[in-house]
Amino acid sequence: MGLESALPVDGFLTTQLRHVINWSRRSSLWPMPFATACCGIELMATACSRYDLARFGAEVMRFSPRQADLLIVAGRIAVKMLPVLQRIYEQMPEPKWVISMGACASTGGVFDTYAVVQGCDQFIPVDVYVPGCPPRPEQLIEGVMAIQRHIDQEGLPPPGGKRVPLGLVLQPTHAVRPQPVGLTLPS
Ligand code: SF4
């Protein structure tokens, strides 16, 4: 049964500790949701049965930054909220990653005002930008997978070194339907 049955008797596996650690980390990302607006609703939807973020091992939302390693910024950041966001980021242990979800978190979106931060990457490092207003749950999951691929391939952030944001940008996947949509009425 299972892995043991595929191995010869008294068999053993060899690998590198780095691979095991990375495999464990990429399979158990614990997100810290910083959801301030409508993007937060899509963030919640990723955990529902239809999208099932648990398939990627990232469904354990932590509301304590000390237990989280993936900060998901979802929604616009008011200037008054910025110190809170920075404090949460600082309190998260290394290694940690950041997803900027949606137009407001990445650029301020349509809120081009003095009261709204015009991109959270001006104040914290961002690893993956997820486009959309709001992004669909699939796109957020793609962002999580991008971080998983990075952990698999690149290893860990430099120990004790300066945090270098990955700055990955996901391509929008939504194809706009031709407008206006034809209307068929029952005869
Ligand atoms: S990007 Fe769009 S959906 Fe997301 S918080 Fe801004 S206005 Fe709301």
Find the CATH number of the domain harbouring 93.
Answer: 3.40.50.12280
The closest-lying atom of ligand 1 relative to the alpha carbon of residue 36 is 5
Instruction: Please tell me if the CB atom of residue 133 comes closer than 6 angstroms to any atom of ligand 1.
Output: yes
To test the ligand 1 pocket, which listed residue (39, 110, 129, 170) has its Cβ within 8 A of the most ligand atoms? Answer: 39
Domain, as residue range, for 35: 31-156+164-169
8 Å CB contact between 90 and 54: no
Provide mean pLDDT across the span 6-20.
76
The answer as to whether 174 is a domain residue is: no
Least confident range of 47-51, 56-60, 104-108, 171-175: 171-175
Does pLDDT of 165 surpass 90? Answer: no
Least confident range of 22-26, 30-34, 137-141, 167-171: 167-171
Predicted pLDDT of residue 78: 94
The answer as to whether 128 is a domain residue is: yes
Torsion (CA) 120, 48, 31, 22 in degrees, nearest 10: -120
Predicted pLDDT of residue 172: 67
Instruction: Please tell me if the CB atom of residue 33 comes closer than 6 angstroms to any atom of ligand 1.
Output: no
The answer as to whether 50 is a domain residue is: yes
Instruction: Please tell me if the CB atom of residue 109 comes closer than 6 angstroms to any atom of ligand 1.
Output: yes
Q: Calculate ∠ Cα 38-42-44, nearest 5°.
A: 105
pLDDT tens profile 94-153: 888 999 999 999 999 999 999 999 999 999 999 999 999 999 999 999 999 999 988 887
Distance CA 165, CA 185 (A): 52
The answer as to whether 21 is a domain residue is: no
The answer as to whether 80 is a domain residue is: yes
Predicted pLDDT of residue 176: 65
Does pLDDT of 76 surpass 90? Answer: yes
Atom 4 of ligand 1: nearest residue by CA position: 39
Greater model confidence, 166 or 149: 149
Does pLDDT of 84 surpass 60? Answer: yes
- Mean per-residue pLDDT of the chain: 85
The closest-lying atom of ligand 1 relative to the alpha carbon of residue 133 is 2
The answer as to whether 72 is a domain residue is: yes
Considering its fold, how many domains does the chain have in total?
1
Distance CA 42, CA 183 (A): 28
* H-type alpha helices, the chain: 2-6, 17-26, 39-45, 82-91, 102-107, 137-154
The answer as to whether 68 is a domain residue is: yes
The answer as to whether 10 is a domain residue is: no
Distance CA 130, CA 8 (A): 45
